Chains A and B, each alone.
Chain A
Amino acid sequence: MKKSVFECLRFDEADDQFELLETEEGTPGFFNRWPKDEAPQTKPIEAPSSESVDENEKRLKKDFRSDINPDVLLRRFLIGGTIPALAACLNGMASRSEINDFILRQSMFKGVMQGVEKNRAKYAMEHVFAQQEAELEDDWDKIKAAVCEGRTAVFLEGDSRAVLMDTRSYEQREVGAAQNEKVIRGPQEGFVENLRTNVSLLRRIIKTDDFICEFRDAGAMNNVMLVIAYRDGVVNRKLLLEVKRRLNSINTRMILSDGTIEQLTERSSLSPLPQVLSTERPDRVAAHIMQGHVAVICDGSPTASVMPATLFTLMSTSEDAYVRRPLGTILRVVRYIGAGVSILLPGYFISLALHHQGMLSTEVISTVIASRRMVYLPIGLEMIFLLWVFQLLREAGLRVPGSIGQAMGIIGGLVLGQAAVAANMVSTVVLIFVALSGMGTFTIPDHSTQVAAEYFRLFLVIAGWLGGLLGFSAGMLALGVWLVSLKSYGLPFLSPIAPRTYSKQPAILRGNVTQHSRATDYTNPEEGLS
C-alpha cells in the first residue's frame, strides 16, 4: 500500500519503466537520418549434424530454446528396437497422425534395421519410413529450417545425415471466391495464404510439362519461401534471369506479403504506379504465364505478382477475355474513358474556369459564377479540398467493416456534400466534377493504379490552377514523359503502343481470341511467333 501511494506521488520515472531507444547504440542525425545500413553480415557457417543422437538432441534443445519453447517436440525412440533415434518437429505445424502412423509405428517393428551398419539414414528412408516426400540432409541450417516449416527430422545413431520428411499440416483458409477482383463470368477461385495450394490452383489450369514452379528461400530472416512460376521454353530467358537476379538481391528482416517483394525488386521505388501486376486470381496469373510472363508467389500471401506489367495489363480484368469481343471492347473503352475523365477533367475544368473563361459558353460560365457566388474558397483550393474529402470518405469506407463502410460512403458523401454546399464552402459545379472524376477512378481495376490516378489528377489540378492550359499541357506532357520512361523489368511501361511492337492484339480494344498466339510480342517469348 505504502509503495503504491509512493509510486503515485513520484514524478520521476518508475524503476520498471525504461525507454527502449536508450538501449540503442548511436544517435540519429540532425534530420533524423540514421547511419546507412552496413553490408549484410554473413551468418556463421554451422557445423553439420553429428553422428551422435545425443549430441544432436542437445544442439536442437539449445537452438530451439526447448526449456522455454514447448512447441518443439524431440522424441527419442529405438528403430527396430536397437538403434537410438530422435524425431524432431514443431507441435501444431506437423501432422500428429502422420508421425505416429508412418514414422514411429514403422520404426518400432523389431528387426527392421537388422544388420545395417552403414548408411543407416538412407536405409531407413528407403525401407522403414512410409513417407511420400523424404530426403537426406546434414546441413544444420537446412534441418532447422525444415523443422520450422513443419517437416519432421529423424536422426539415427551412427549416421550424420537426418531424414527430412514432409509432415506439414496446419490450419489454413479454404479456397474461396476472389474478394477484390470479382467477375460475373469465369472462374471465381482466389488464391489463399498457402503456397502449395496456390501452386496447385495454377497447375490445375496450366496442365503442361513445361510449367515450372521453382521453390526458393525469399531471402528474409523469417525464412519465407516463394515460388517463381513460368513456362520453360516460352518465357524470355533474359526476363527470367533478371527476375531471379533481383530476387537473389533481397536481404531484409522479414517478408510477410508479395507487396514487400514487389518493393524490394522494383527499380522506380518512388513511382506511384506499380511495376508488377498483383492479382488474387489464379486464372489471370495462368493466362499471363501462358503468354510468357513470370509470376512470383510468396508463402503467406493470397496474391501473386506477375512481371513484367504494362499500363494496359493493369487496366484489364480477367473478365475481358471471357465475354464476347464487342462487349469486351465496350467494357474496356468505358474503363479507359473513365480513367481519362478521372485524371484530366478536374485539371482541365480549373484551367478553363480560372484562366480561359472565353473558351466556355455564356451558359456554362454563368452557371459556374452563380454556383460560386457565395463560396469563399478560391476555386483551385475548393477543388483540392473536395478531392481530399473524397479521399477521406473512400479511405474511411475501406477501413470500417463492410456494410458500415458502404453506408458511411453514401451517407457521408450525401450529408457532407449537402452541408458543404449549404455552408458556402464548395459550389455544386465543382462538386459534380469531383464526383465524376471520383466515379471515373473506380473504373480502374487495379487498386494501386487507382491511387496513382489520384496523384496524377491532383498534379494536373495544381498545374492547371497555376498555369491554365499552359500548365495543364506542360503537366500532361511531363506525365507522358515520365510514363514512357518507366519500365517494368526492362519492359517499357506503355508497350505495345509506345514503343510500338508487332503485337496483333490491340492494347485498348479487345482483340480476337484467335490472335492470342501473338498477344505478347513485347515480352519477346522464346516460343516462335506464329
Chain B
Amino acid sequence: MNLRQGCIGRQESLCMAAIAACSSGLFTFDSSALYSLGNSAYITMLASAAIALIIFALAVNAMAASGHESLWALLRSGLGAFFSRVVALIYVLLLLACAAMLLSRFTLMMVRFVFPGVLEWKLIVYLAPVVFMLAWKGLESIGRTSRLFIWLLLISLLGSLLLAAFNYKTYRLAPYLGDGIKNILGLGIKNALLFFPALLGLLIVARGVHGPKMAKRTGYSAAIAAGLLCSSAQLCLGMTFSYSELSKMHSPMYRLTMNFRSGGYFQRLDKLLFFGWVISSMLAAGYYVYAASFLFAGAFEHNDIRPSVAVFSVLIIVFTMLMHSQAAIWGNIERVISGYGLLLAAIPLLLASLLARLKSPKKNMQEKES
C-alpha cells in the first residue's frame, strides 16, 4: 500500500486540501466587501463553500464518468488542445495568485503586529524557500506534512477561538442576516473563490490521490470541514467585533487573538498561535505552487515539473513583492479577481466537463448498448 510511489492516501489528501481551503478562507478574504452590509459572514462562508463544492462536484463527476484521471485530460478532451492550454494558463495564474495573496497577507500581518518596521522582502526570504521546498519535494511530501501539521493548525485556530470566548456577545451579530438572503448569496458566490483553488488543486492531482472517485470523497470532506471551520471563525469574529469595525479591519483573525483576557499568560499567546497559522499558509502556498506546476507541465508536455516549480516559486516572490510595493494597483486587480475570478474559473471548467462527458467513450458505449 505505502510502498506504491507517487500516490497519497485519503487522510493526507484531505488534510492538504482542508489546510489550503481554511488558510485561504480565513486569511485572504476581503473584510470591506464581506462586512459592508452586515454581520452575516458566518452564513456567507457556508454558502461559499457549498458553491465551490457544487462546481467541484460537477467537474469531478464528469472526470469519473468520462474516465479522465486529471484535470488536464478533462480540459483537453472537452476544449481541444489550444483552448485547454489557455484555460490551463488561467488556472496556473489563479493558483499562483492565491499563493502570493496568502504570503502577502501574512507578510503584512507580520509587519504590522510582529516585526514592526521590517521590510517585507526580509520576511519573504523565510517563507519562500519553504514553499519552494514543499513544491519541489512533491505531492507525497505536501500531503504527509499536512497530515503531520494539521493538529498544529487546529490547535492554533480552535485555541484562538476558545481563548477569545469570554468576549463574545451575540448582540454584535445584529443585523442577523446582513442585508438579506440575496446579498448573502451574492457574497457567497464572490467568496467561493476562497475555497475553489484548494478543490481545483485536487482535480489537478486527482491521479495522485488514487483517481477521481477518491478525489471526490476527499474534496467533499475538505470543503465541508473548511466551510464549517471558516464559518465558526466568522461567527466568533462577528461576536467579538461589530460589522462596522470588521469592515475597516485589516487582519480580523489576528485582532481576535489580541483580544484575549489580559493579565495572564494567555495574553501573550497571540504570536505563538499566529505562527501556527503561518505554517499552514506555507503548506497551502506550497500546494498551490505544486498544483500550478503540475498543470503547467501537463499542458505543455514537460516530463519534469521541477523547472516549473523553480520558476513559479520565483514568480510568487515577485507577485508578493509587487502586492506590497504596488498596493494600489494590486488592490484593484485583487478586487477584479475576487469579483469575476470565479466566473473565469468555473465557466471553462463546467463547459469542459459537459463537453468531455458528451464526448466520453463510456457514454458512447452506453448509447450503443442501449
Q: Do A and B come from one complex?
A: yes
| B123 surroundings in chain A (CB, below 8 A) | 470
> Nearest chain A CB to B46's CB is how many angstroms away?
28
Neighbour of A492 across the interface among B2, B114, B137, B279, CB < 8 A: B2
- In the bound complex, do residue A524 and residue B141 qualify as a contact, i.e. CB atoms below 8 Å apart? no
With A499-B8, A501-B1 known as contacts, the answer to whether A473 contacts B144 (CB < 8 A) is no
> Nearest chain A CB to B12's CB is how many angstroms away?
6
With A359-B268, A474-B127, A500-B9 known as contacts, the answer to whether A468 contacts B115 (CB < 8 A) is yes
Neighbour of A481 across the interface among B2, B110, B141, B278, CB < 8 A: B141
> Nearest chain A CB to B56's CB is how many angstroms away?
24
- In the bound complex, do residue A481 and residue B12 qualify as a contact, i.e. CB atoms below 8 Å apart? no
Cα–Cα, bound, A467→B126 (Å): 8
Residues of A384-443 at the interface with B, using a CB-CB cut-off of 8 Å, are: none
A77 at the interface (CB under 8 A from B): no
| B134 surroundings in chain A (CB, below 8 A) | 477, 481
Determine which residue in A471, A474, A482, A490 has the highest number of CB atoms from chain B within 10 A of its CB, and name it.
Answer: A474
| B11 surroundings in chain A (CB, below 8 A) | 499-500
Cα–Cα, bound, A480→B265 (Å): 28
B282 at the interface (CB under 8 A from A): yes
The residue of chain B having its C-beta at the shortest distance from the C-beta of A521 within the complex is B1
Cα–Cα, bound, A468→B118 (Å): 13
B140 at the interface (CB under 8 A from A): yes
Residues of B246-299 at the interface with A, using a CB-CB cut-off of 8 Å, are: 265, 268-269, 271-272, 275-276, 278-279, 282-283
| B5 surroundings in chain A (CB, below 8 A) | 490
- Beta-carbon contacts of B77-110 to A below 8 Å, as 1s and 0s? 0000000000000000000000000000000001
- In the bound complex, do residue B147 and residue A498 qualify as a contact, i.e. CB atoms below 8 Å apart? yes
A239 at the interface (CB under 8 A from B): yes
| A29 surroundings in chain B (CB, below 8 A) | none
B133 at the interface (CB under 8 A from A): yes
Q: Interface range on chain B: under 10, 10 to 19, 20 to 34, or 35 or more?
A: 35 or more
With A481-B145, A498-B147, A499-B147 known as contacts, the answer to whether A359 contacts B2 (CB < 8 A) is no
| A239 surroundings in chain B (CB, below 8 A) | 3
Determine which residue in A358, A472, A521 has the highest number of CB atoms from chain B within 10 A of its CB, and name it.
Answer: A358
Residues of A478-530 at the interface with B, using a CB-CB cut-off of 8 Å, are: 478, 480-482, 484-485, 490-492, 494-495, 497-502, 521-522, 524
- In the bound complex, do residue A236 and residue B144 qualify as a contact, i.e. CB atoms below 8 Å apart? no
With A470-B278, A497-B148, A498-B145 known as contacts, the answer to whether A481 contacts B1 (CB < 8 A) is no
- In the bound complex, do residue B133 and residue A470 qualify as a contact, i.e. CB atoms below 8 Å apart? no
> Nearest chain B CB to A246's CB is how many angstroms away?
15
> Nearest chain B CB to A385's CB is how many angstroms away?
24
| B144 surroundings in chain A (CB, below 8 A) | 484-485, 492, 494, 498-499
The residue of chain B having its C-beta at the shortest distance from the C-beta of A239 within the complex is B3
> Nearest chain A CB to B355's CB is how many angstroms away?
36
Cα–Cα, bound, A495→B134 (Å): 19
- In the bound complex, do residue B2 and residue A491 qualify as a contact, i.e. CB atoms below 8 Å apart? yes
B interface, CB within 8 angstroms of A: 1-3, 5, 8-9, 11-12, 110, 114-115, 123, 126-127, 129-130, 133-134, 137-138, 140-141, 143-145, 147-149, 265, 268-269, 271-272, 275-276, 278-279, 282-283
Give 10 A-B pairs besides A473-B275, A477-B149 with Cβ atoms closer than 8 angstroms: A468-B115, A471-B126, A472-B275, A477-B145, A477-B283, A480-B149, A492-B144, A494-B148, A499-B8, A499-B11
A interface, CB within 8 angstroms of B: 236, 238-239, 355-356, 358-361, 467-474, 476-478, 480-482, 484-485, 490-492, 494-495, 497-502, 521-522, 524
A-B contact pairs, 7 of them (CB 8 A): A476-B279, A477-B130, A477-B283, A480-B145, A485-B144, A499-B147, A524-B1
